[in-house]
Amino acid sequence: MTSVAGQANYFRVEGGNPLQGEFRVQGAKNAVLKQMAATILASGEHHLHNVPRIDDVDIMSELLLSMGIRSEWAGEDHLVVVTPPASEIKPLAAYELVEKIRASVVVLGPLIARLGNATISMPGGDDFGHRPIDMHLAAISELGAAFSTSHGYVEGKAARLRGANIALEFPSHTGTDNVLMASVLAEGTTIISNCAREPEVSDLALMLNSMGARISGIGTSTLTVEGVPELRPAQHSIIPDRIDASTALGAVGMNQGEVLLRGARAEHMEMLLRKLGELGLEIRPDAAGLVARSAARLRAVSISSLPYPGIATDFLPILVAVLSTADGDAIVTENIFAGRFKYVDELRRLGANMTTHGHHVAIRGVASLQGAPVKATDIRAGAALVVAALAAEGESRVYGSGHIDRGYVDLPRRLAELGGKVERCSEAH
Ligand code: EPU
């Protein structure tokens, strides 16, 4: 869904329709991007299934191609990645691509593991504020890599990495992915403690094991990796995207109706489901996924984000949108990223009554929102604005919709299939 120069892309949303039907939950963005990087670790033909057709996957494919690794679609959600012998891989992630997608930093671990050498553009800040990679570098250094930085690039070098005991200062999600991929080919045993436990990290570990890696403790906060000399290509089906599922849950909560979330896995979002239950959303398991039903105005409940199994920071924009029309007052606290509240001013443009205080938002639920032009500043903020606009009276235009396409498979189409009035538009500017 690439944009055309001179055209502003936006989603036009007409609010006020209950949602009914089936929402197919896409494959997880924050798993597949790392799993694509993991293909660096083994030569041959990798088959990834349940891959979401999103812009970030296309950018990751471009990055891999710039290194000599080709990927192509073999079906609607089947991506084939062909990794050449190590000697033909170019271990460079250039500024132009890293700047488009922060997740590209996860090529660092596999490149150093496989080639003993990697040069990547230092990721800059983004709309959440300062996002350093110091923990990634410290952890991979413990395996024996040496890093230097110059002209905006970080270069890592190592002979074969050696297993080590690594304690992460914070359970960083991509930090864990990176050090895990670095360690699978290391000599000896690596123990990574205080690691991230997100389902997407576990899915990466499962895929690595299917390639011949020896990782145990998957799903716990300590991963133990017995290094192996080489891996084979992957055959892997990506887990469903819990953030995509939360977007549909939020939309049902705000708009009422009943929707089957096909493929949603309750065990990946237990805390979220508990909170939504406290809000008054009815959610029940179904053989095909989860069914969400909402028949009345939701109740306000305070919420804080925490690393998994806590409420994910990525759920918060959706939850803040939902709370904007819930009955009562709530405080929402963001504990992961300092600057992640830019969407609050946009929700206020829709008539929400909320104010930020440092890393808290104080929300007083209003009876209804009114449609307005608003602007998405990142993927989840954009999705939250669409969800809120679906519940607002009249028409909204959500500009910056390119952010949403980075992480969601055609969100307008999937919401329109539920009866929501959302369409893709562009205008000259
Ligand atoms: N941090 C450091 N140093 C580091 C790494 C992280 O200080 O070396 C800090 C960060 O600044 C932040 C905190 O640690 O304050 C947590 O960051 P984490 O490393 O866990 O986040 P991430 O790995 O960069 C991933 C997801 C995000 C998601 C977060 C939290 C991917 C590609 N991104 O980011 O997803 O919000 O974990 O779960 O996996 C999104 O999908 O829209 C998105 C932003």
Q: Residue 173 C-alpha to ligand 1 middle, in angstroms? A: 6
Looking at 3.40.640.10, 3.50.50.60, 3.40.228.10, 3.65.10.10, the CATH number of the domain 29-237 comes to 3.65.10.10
CB 392 within 8 A of CB 346: no
Q: Do domains 7-26+240-428 and 29-237 have the same CATH topology?
A: yes
* Residues with a CB atom less than 6 Å from ligand 1: 29-30, 33, 103, 131-136, 170, 172-175, 312-314, 336-337, 379-380, 407
- Minimal-distance CA residue to ligand 1 atom 40: 314
Distance CA 163, CA 73 (A): 36
Mutate-to-test residue for ligand 1 from 105, 131, 340, highest number of ligand atoms within 8 A of CB = 131
Q: Residue 190 C-alpha to ligand 1 middle, in angstroms? A: 22
CA angle (174 as vertex; 163, 37 as ends), nearest 5: 80
Partnered with residue 355 across adjacent β-strands are: 362
CB 252 within 8 A of CB 14: no
- Minimal-distance CA residue to ligand 1 atom 7: 132
Q: Which residues of 114-135 are buried (b: 16+ CB within 10 A; e: fewer)?
A: bbbebbbbebeeebbeebebeb
Distance CA 244, CA 25 (A): 6
Q: Which atom of ligand 1 is nearest to the CA of 106?
A: 32
Q: Residue 174 C-alpha to ligand 1 middle, in angstroms? A: 6
- Minimal-distance CA residue to ligand 1 atom 20: 172
Q: Residue 294 C-alpha to ligand 1 middle, in angstroms? A: 32
Whole-model pTM? 0.97
pLDDT one digit per residue (tens) for the chain, 429 residues: 555 566 689 999 999 999 999 999 999 999 999 999 999 999 999 999 999 999 999 999 999 999 999 999 999 999 999 999 999 999 999 999 999 998 999 999 999 999 999 999 988 656 666 678 999 999 999 999 999 999 999 999 998 899 999 999 999 999 999 999 999 999 999 999 999 999 999 999 999 999 999 999 999 999 999 999 999 999 999 999 999 999 999 999 999 899 999 999 999 999 999 999 999 999 999 999 999 999 899 999 999 999 999 999 999 999 999 999 999 999 999 999 877 899 999 999 999 999 999 999 999 999 999 999 999 999 999 999 999 999 999 999 999 999 999 999 999 999 999 999 999 998 876
Q: Which atom of ligand 1 is nearest to the CA of 313?
A: 36
Residues acting as catalytic residues: 126
- Minimal-distance CA residue to ligand 1 atom 5: 133
Task: Mark out the alpha helices in 256-378 (DSSP H runs).
Answer: 270-279, 316-323, 342-349
Domain boundaries defined on the chain:
7-26+240-428, 29-237
DSSP H or E segment with residue 366: none
CATH superfamily of 7-26+240-428: Enolpyruvate transferase domain (3.65.10.10)
> Does residue 334 sit in helix, strand or coil?
coil
For residue 57, give Cα distances in angstroms to 31, 73, 109, 157, 208. 11, 11, 19, 27, 19
Q: Which atom of ligand 1 is nearest to the CA of 102?
A: 32
Q: Which atom of ligand 1 is nearest to the CA of 134?
A: 8
Q: Residue 103 C-alpha to ligand 1 middle, in angstroms? A: 9
